Amino acid sequence: MTDTISNPFADRPQPKPWIAAIHAYVPGKTTGLDGQPLIKLSANENPLGTSPQARAARHDAGEQAVYPDPDSVALRHALGALHGIGPDRIVMGTGSDELLNLAAQAFAGPGDDVVYVRYGFSVYDIAARRCGARPLVAPDSDYGTDVDALLATVTPATRVVFLANPNNPTGSYVGRDAIARLHAGLRPDTLLVIDQAYAEYVAPEDDDGALALAASARNVLVTRTFSKIYGLAGERVGWATGDAALVDMLNRIRGPFNLSLSAQATALAAVGDQGFVQASYTHNRTERARFVAKLAALGNHGLRPLPSEANFVLIEFTGLLSAEAAYLGLMNRGYITRWLPGQGLPQCLRITIGTPEQMEDIAAALTQMANAGA
């Protein structure tokens, strides 16, 4: 009883210190400073929307009063057939975010380290802290992934290494040799999580070999999502594949009915419409190349588009026009993009590849602002 009196904080539930240290994820904004809706190029969503077949399937998903299939069997079989993976080696998640968190939780905890690159996806920091592990950040190489620096950061207590490839927010990408070298440099008891949220935007000949590695190695987990090229961010569907023992662990701790009825039905139809995926891929490559070419002309004003293999471009601003001024200027013109001071990138703006008209408009606006020098 005296405890209650002597400890002024004992009159309420005490969060674990590692939980209290978490900064909540900051989602891409949808409105301007005065709350008016803006064209959203801040969350890497698909400008083509989603497959018409997926939209129709959502409408016909089935009886809402009944629990969905707890094991998402039809969806795992469809994904397995598409990628040549046994369905028993696929685990579904409420977005890949759930799976990234579960991977950290299953294999790391207090006293352990979780490693990822500087300017990595912000969920990794949350996932590491959520399970009580210590986040360790490896230095970048001109914003990109440096495999040697990543390996040098790994400690004897490192249980999980996260790498998004392509990476968000930088768009950077490392190839098959770098991924193989990273894997070869890790102890077999360290889990390598390769987050392939943007893998479908990469040219097939540039494949990083992560899925093949997940099929053969016991310590590699690959995560994928329906939020990006499939255009189903609102349905919250992700999946992971790796050794059966890894998949088994994640299955034990995921939500038992984690994929809703509409999520399963919609994603299943989306897998069946690879034409939509192909159209999205082509659209992205064409528009990204056009946009980057226009930005390249602004190099003398200090604008530098970083090489991107994803559906967005990170632009570095080192001239008179600052990233913040460009962000506010684009907002005035009706566009919300992603300015990233909270991720240590106040000099950068991330812009999702939108429609041809939007990208033309944005390139013109940046050109005008850069020429005006403010």
97 binds ligand PLP (CB under 6 A): yes
CA distance 29 to 33: 10
Question: Which one of the spans 5-13, 203-211, 225-233, 337-345 is the region binding ligand PLP (CB under 6 A)?
Answer: 225-233
Q: Is 258 in the site for ligand PLP (CB under 6 A)?
A: no
d(C-alpha 280, C-alpha 285), whole Å: 9
Q: Which of 47, 68, 95, 231 binds ligand PLP (CB under 6 A)?
A: 95
Binding-residue pattern over the window 189 to 218 for ligand PLP, x denoting contact by CB under 6 A: ------x-x---------------------
The residues, any chain, with a CB within 8 Å of residue 164's CB and separated by 6 or more, are 120, 121, 194, 195, 196, 197, 198
**Residue 345 parent element (H or E):** strand 345-352
| Contact pick of 74, 149, 233, 279 for ligand PLP (by CB under 6 A) | 233
Q: How far apart are CA 152 and CA 8, in angstroms?
A: 43
Contacts (CB under 6 A) with ligand PLP, residues 287-326: none
The smaller minimum CB distance to ligand PLP, of residues 113 and 235, is found at 235
Rounded Cα distance between 260 and 277, Å, is 22
Give the Cα separation of 369 and 371 in Å (integer).
5
Q: Which stretch binds ligand PLP (CB under 6 A): 84-92, 141-149, 227-235, 263-271?
A: 227-235
Closest CB 146 distance from ligand PLP, rounded Å: 18
DSSP letter at 139 equals P
CA distances from 261 to 97, 203, 243, 303, 368 (A): 19, 32, 27, 45, 48
Q: Which of 164, 214, 269, 349 binds ligand PLP (CB under 6 A)?
A: 164
| Cβ at position 238, least distance to ligand PLP in Å | 4
Residue type, 324: E
Kindly state whether residue 168 participates in binding ligand PLP, applying the rule CB under 6 A: yes
Site for ligand PLP contains 227 (CB under 6 A): yes
Please say which residue, 325 or 353, places its beta carbon nearer to ligand PLP: 353
Kindly give the interhelix angle for 95-107 and 123-130, rounded to the nearest 10 degrees: 40
Q: Which is nearer to ligand PLP, 227 or 322 (CB)?
A: 227
Which residues are paired to 313 by β-bridges?
351
Q: List contacts with ligand PLP (CB under 6 A).
A: 44, 95-97, 121, 164, 168, 195, 197, 225, 227-228, 233, 238
